[in-house]
Structure formats: structure tokens, C-alpha cells
Structure 1
Amino acid sequence: MRFDDSLKTVLAAEATTALGARAAFRQLVDLIGRGRAPADPPLIGRLALLRGRVPDGVRVTCARSLALMDPPVALVAFFADDTPDVAAAALRAARLRGADWETLLPRLQPHGRAILRQRHDLPPSIERALASFGGNDLLLGYQPPVAVAPDISRAGAAERFEIADLVRRIEGHQHDRAVAANTPVAPLTAFEFEADAAGVIRWIDATPRGAVIGLSLDHRGIGWGAAGAAVDGIAAGAFRKRAPFSGARLVVPGESAIGGDWRIAGVPMFDHATGAFTGMRGRARRPRAEEDAVRSAGRDRAIGAEGLRRLVHELRTPTNAIAGFSELIEQGLLGPVAAEYRDRAAHIRRQVTGLIGAIEDLDLAARIEGGALHQRDGSVAASELLSRVGDDLAPLAAMRGAQLVLPGEREGAWALDPHNAERLVSRLLATMLSAARPGERLATGLIAGVGTLALTVSPPAAFAERDEATLLALDDEEATVSDGAPLLGVGFALRLVRNLAAEVGGRFAMSPELFTLLLPAVEGDETDRATTTAP
């Protein structure tokens, strides 16, 4: 028995980023075109939602790939309803049956049918149908203007409000200027320039020109120094030697579209008649990523987090498949299985379950690092959540021979996404239990404050003599290799709790005597009395 969960994997993938949207669009087109997913309205609608975030070039490439498939007519119609370039690529590549072409023809625009008229592999019935559209496709639509009789009764009113209308026009003009001033200008990527014999730039082919014209390629000039821009020694030395140069640096001050760092190259110009030096002609471009020594740290983190999330997505699918198949063997759903193989399958399933948890933790860490953590408004009762998490962790507590003591029932709720709240509490308590020794009791408590509700946990003895820095780096110590320990290490789990708490507006503090998870509380649910448990 084989399960094809490709469509489910694609639909569950992250598509909010530009890279994710392009990947999801390509994969959906491939699945639908190869018949591995139905061309039903929901999937076509999903493609329509992604289309606005996928560049034209990618959509043209996907449309051309229909030549390698036998696409359904709904997918071809979807591409035919795109821009003329995308529609032309799809209609040139698609192969359909005669009945499907007949269904598609009335839905095409005139330029789409013009593309089909250039094909010579269509059935004769389709060629006749295209010929029947010929007259309509060549008509130019024209709608004569409707004459409106002037309203003489309101002429006097128009004259009376002539000044008010002029004031409104002035206000509208000022508003448009303010909007244009506040609209961010896309930075230029390249421009060409010419400098005179003194090295002063006199011409560029981009705007705003005033930021660059008057700058000098010579360090000895006076034009560029007063403006605050500078070229490096490569450009200045080449100018003095009347020699070509490339890879030189230019800094244009200001926040305009032409401001910022540039890499320039230039060649000298000489008079053909006299041979005298007349200036430099060159080209400027933005520095590439490897040439920029001050790349944004936030951008680097976002790129790294996106790569980690793609890796997590690639790991999740085969891991889930292994877990599902081992469970089928363990339960004997595929037929009779010897006890030895059943036990082996159960052991594999338990190991894979831990691996799935580690993959989810990596995905969560990547989302936090990349600023892509999904948060919804909501609240969750603290006592109810602790009771549910305690039941889930009961097998781990039994395996470790330890006891998790929960606080008594009390009023209080956390003001955050219930899913993120459960992630925080379960990972913190699971990490504590994984390091507990047989017979050890971990006491928990709830303490209400001003706008906050804190969860306190008495740390196990393995953590009692370690400071915060040591615990956060505890990834390969003896406490991390015992049964039930986090697969990625105790230090990673504690760092994950700390970062997730900060992301939801809380704080996680560690001391040898007490671990405290401080989270925002629902207004009106705080109390002045703390409810704690003692071991």
C-alpha cells in the first residue's frame, strides 16, 4: 500500500514568503498537470491566490512546462487568463483533446485565439471554429460618447462656488505632493556617467542628477569634498594616471534613490584630433552581496532561518512516512507480523516520535529567528492548560520515576495564542522532567502580578548547581543523554523556551532555586494571593 501525500505536503508548506509562494506555485502546477492532483476549483483558486506573488518569468516557465504534460483543460484555462506573455506560452505548449479545445475557445481572449491560429497541429474542427471567430476578433470596439445637456439651472451655483472649487483643488494638489514625498523611492541599480578633464562629473543618465553631478573623481578636487561624497583610491589614482579602472567605490550621501554605496568602472576619453585628455566615461552599479562589508545582520538571519525552514520541510515528510508505516506494522494492519518485528517497529516508532518533536522544535526556532512566528489573539486558562500538559507528560514522568506536582485549581488565564502557550509550558516541563532523578518531585506554582501570571518550577537536582549561562549551553553534558532527554539537548530546549517567551511578550528567568516563566495575563484575572505547591 502506497500513500501519495504530495498534495497535502504542498498545501501545508509555508507560502507567505516570496520564495515559498514560487515553490508552492510550481509544485501545484506540476501536480495538477501530471494528474496527481485534481483540477478542481479549490486548487485552481489556490493558484490564483499565489499568482499575484509569483513573478511573470516564473509563471511563463510554468506555462511552458505544460508541453511535458497532458494538462487538464482547467489548468490551461487558468494560464490563458493570465497576462498575454503567460497565456501565449501556455497556448503554444498545451496539448488537449478536440472536445477540450472546443470548451476552451469561447473563454479565450482574441490574442489567445490569435496564438492558436499559428499552430498547425490542431484538429480540423478547431481550425474551423477559430475561423468562425475571425470576424469578431478583428473588430475594434467603439462606443460613441453620450451627449449630456447642460444644466442651466445650476450655472449660477457653479459661479458662486468657483472660489470654493479652487480651494479644493489647491488642497488636493498639496495632498498629492505630501503623499508623493512620503512614498518610498525604489533605489536605482545602475547608471552611466561622464566626467570632464578636471574629474568633475558633468552628466549622468539617471535621476536625481543633483546628487551626483558636481562630484569629483579626484581626491584633490573641491567639488566632491563639500558634498560629502567620496571615491576610493582606485578611482582617484586611475584618474590621475589617465588609466581605466573597475571595482572602485563611490558613496553618494542622502536618502534619494541614487544615494548609498556604488561600485564604479571607467575608461579615459581623448580628443581624436589632438590626443588631449578630455575626461572619463564610466558606469556605476550597486555592490553585490559578497562585496558589501556592512550587510544587514537581520537580512542574514532571515536568509538563514528561511533555509532552515526549507530543510525542516524536507525532513518532515519522510519522517512522518516512517512513523506511519512503523505504526501500521506494529498494529498488524498490513497482515500478521512476528512479535520480534512488532517490537522492532514499536521501537522505531518511539524513536521517530522523538525525531518529529525535534523537527518541530527546529521549525519553531527558525520561525522565531526569521520573524515569521504565527500569533493569534486569544487566551487560555492556566490551570486547565497545566492539567492537560501534565496528562501528556505522565508517561515521561513514569519513565523517569519522578513526579510533577501541579498547583491547585485557581482563577487565571494567559493572554496569548493557546497554541503558543501550550508549546511554552509543555517544552519547559518536559525539559525539567527529562533531567529529574528517580523519586524526585518537581513543584510548580502560579503567581499573579500586575498584568502578568507567572509559572514557577523548582528545577531538578541536575540543574540546581548550574548558573543560567551553563544551562543554556548544556547540549552535550551527562544530563542531556539520559532517557527522555530532548533530542537537541537541554540547552537548546531552554533557549527555545526563552526566545518563544520573549516573542509572545513574556520573559523566562532561571536561578538555581526557581525557574520562572512570566507571561501576560488576561485583565481582571490577577489575584493578590499566590498558589504554589511544596514538595
Structure 2
Amino acid sequence: MGWLRVTADSMIATILRQAPADRRASIAAWRQLTDILAQRGNQLDTTDIRRAFHALAVLRRDVPEKVRRDCAVAVARHGRFAPLVAFYANDVPAVSATMLRRARLAEADWLAMLPTTAATARSILAGRSDLPVSVRRALDSLGAGSVALPQPAIAAADASAADIVDEAPASQISELVRRIDKYQSSRSKPAPARPRTSFLFETGPDGVIRWVDGITRGAAIGLSIAESALGGEPGTDGAAVGAFRQRAEIVNARMILEGSAADAGEWRFSALPWFDPATGQFCGYRGTARRPQHNELPYGRPESSDSGDSIRQLIHELRSPLNAISGFAQIISGQMFGPVSGAYRKMADSIIADAGAVQDIIDDLEVAARSTGVVETKASDEVADLATVMAQIEGDLAPLLADQRIDLSISRVGGPFLAHADDANSRRMVGRLLTALVDICEAGTTLVGQLVAEAGPDDMLQLRIVRPAAIRFASAADLLDPGFSPEGEAPGAAILSLGFSLRLVDSLARGAGGRLDIGHNALTLYLPSANPRADTELGAQHGE
């Protein structure tokens, strides 16, 4: 085991010697340190462990919450290093919950870790049913009062509009990905157990639910109505948060719970604030929750009846705030209401560019929603010239390639390269595939591929792209998982994951009668050839 310790020690020392120069480098360092501690933490000496955790604490402010959540997912089930679990457990609630709902530790490690965890972490663990009996007893001994979430942090007043563009659409886009996956998987699943229909609850002055009646305590205890949850995560909506801040009545707000089939899912709740009769001090909320009626489900219909329509409606609603943000930025950039300083105009230009990029992503999501559940179909009557499409995309990618110092080398074999496919969808398929792979290439490397038009039994054109080093050994299941984050993934790839992009490409290809194959050495996009067949040409010559 000595060589393992030496290797891990030297890797940590190498990482710590290189101060991250930018956000991407900080993300890479965070992932590397997390992976080393998860896999080899028990073999490291105390000094290196302390140095690694100190570095993680410093890096945390520069690493997006989504990246931290993705890392928690990646290491929670195979990592056995209790200090790393405790470190993630004391992150923001979304990251803490991601780690603690999945972590697998020895009984002794759980018992040693509990006293060091915050009330947020204990509230999450209280909802698990697979912990050892002794750990459950330890949680109970801490008392119901300790099972609480902290009050939400107040955002800095000078947070820029760029942060809004970067974070808010990303969380909503993640919800769309989950909804698409849920729709695809639900068609083959049996109907869930009949859920409970109502419950009572009471919160403390901090908005944390401390008492429930009618459902399992772990499903709701520790949940806060004072902060809105990320899309699809357990918690309440913004309407409840706004009412809480005003100490106003909450009427038919939305709540999402996790837990057993009887407790989990969507609820509607109403609540009234209550005050100490003697002092008038605010004491919290008391309320009731019920299952939503059919006409209260998102977008006016049950999700199972037409999930595609509800996804498209959500996309429509996502565009509205994005267009508003972009519109205000254009007003600032164009100085339509008067002179604006150069710094603000530069920020506005950046927001406009970011909004345009997010708009492109939303367009991809809309295409995915339309193609959800598509089975292989016949080839399109339209014809696209893939050689022309490739030349356009190579030109479009030139700034990205220069920025990330990556070369793109796609050779042509045979020809012509005419495919039975819609021209716009061809650009979308090829562009999304290449962009997703460029985003995970290391700086200074070359992305290599071939566009092939050779006669074959299936008469398909092929675009073969050699796997970049970051996914050289990744399984097909990993590459199609929207939570998969390859080492070195570019910040621009964080909004739509590699897995989602590959599934979008495959879905569009199957709609055109083709497919995306994930091979051991390369990813190959197949599209039906529209080239004249050799036997057809020969027949024509004999006819003459």
C-alpha cells in the first residue's frame, strides 16, 4: 500500500503547487482533489489530508454549485472516506443533500461524523431508511429541534445580471432533461402505489417544518418553506417564499416531497402565520397540504397524458424571462435611455452573448421534446450535403477552437456526401456532436475524425469521431447519462451535459432513419445515403 500513498501524495502536491489560473482550472482541481480523497483518502497522511481539504475550502467559492453536485453524485456511492462526506455535507443544502442521500459509510464512520454535521445534514439523513439502527438512534438522540435547515443566505446586492442568465436557465434546463428522461422511462414502469392525499404541518420561525401529521415524518421534517427549491428538488415554490417574507397567508403554494411512493411527489399547501399571544413574536406557520387536482397540475393537464406538450410549454415559459433579460441588456448596450459607462456596456454585451448561447440550447431542448420517444423512421425526402454542412460547422467552431487551443481534423473518404436528412437538422446533429466533444478535449490536442461515403450493405454515410482522452474508457451508459461529467469538461459544457447532447444527436438521427453508435474507439453518426447507387448508374448505362 506504500506506493499508493506515495502516488496520491505526489498527485496532491502537484495539484496544490499549481494555483488555478481561471474558473476552468479551479473546477479541474476541485474534481481531482475530490476523486483522490474519495478513492485514497484512507491511505493519505494527516498533513496531506488537511492540505487537500484546505484547498477545497478555498476553491469552493470559484466552483459552480452544479459542478459540486455532480462531483457528489460521482463519488458518493463508491467513496468510503468519511471526512470527504462530512465536507460535502456542510455545503449548501442542494450539494449536501446530493451527497447524503447517496453516501455509503461504515456504521462507525456515521457515528463519528454525526456530531460534526450541521442541522441541514441531519435533517437529510433523518429521511433515509437504510441507515444502521445505531445511527438512527443517534439521530433521534439529537432531538427534533436539531433536525432543521438554516435560514437562506441573503444574496449579495451587487450580484450581476450575468449570474442570472448563467444560473437560472441552467437549473430550469436541468428540470427539462429530467422531465424528458422521466417520460421515456415511465412508459415501461408499473403504476406507483396510491399516494397519501393530505397532511398537517407546522414550522418554526425560520420556516423549517418541525411537525407533521398524515405522512411519514422524514418526508417533510427539515424542509424549509422560506427558500425556493431548485427545479425538481424537494422544497417549495417562490410564491411560498414571498409570502413567508411578508408574514402573509400562503394559498395553494407548490411543494415537492421525496420519500416513499405514498409520500413523494407534488403537493399544494396553504398556511397561516401564528404569533405568541403574550409577546406578539412571530412563531412560524401552521398549514395543511393536499394532492393537486387535475386542473392544478403543471400547464393544466396531467403530466402523463401529454408530457411532450407540457415540456414545450415549459420551454415557452423559459424563453420569456430570457428574452426580457436580453432585451434590457440590449437597451443598456445601445444606450437607448441615455449614456452608460463602458464597464456596464461591456457587461451588457456579455449578457447578450450569453443569452444567445442559452437560446440555442433552448432550441435544442425543444427539438429533444419533439423527438422524445422517436423510433427509427424512414429516410427523409430532403437531401443535405454533409460536406457543405461540415465546412459551415468548422467555420462556426473556429473561435471556440482557437479559444480552447484545439485543432479539428475531419478527413473526407470517398464522396459525394449526400444524405437523406433535413439540412437544418443535419447542422444541428453534426454541430452538437462536435461542440460537445470539443468541450471535453484537453487544450493543445486534436479532435480527429472521418466523413465517409463508402458503399455498404446498409448504404449509410458515416461521421466517425475518435474518442477524446477524457472519455476514452467511459462506458456507453455513462456517456448517455445526463449527470456524467468527464474530467476536464469545459465550463461551456456545464449547461447541457455531454450525455444529453449525445442522446439528442441519436434521437435526431433515428428520426431521419440513422443512428449514433458509441464504439470502443470512436463515436459514429450514421445517416442514410442519398448518393446514386453504383448498380443504379450501371443500369442506366446499359439502358442507354
- TM-score band (shorter)? 0.3 to 0.5
TM-score by length of 1: 0.39
Bigger RCO (CA 8 Å, 6+ sep): 2
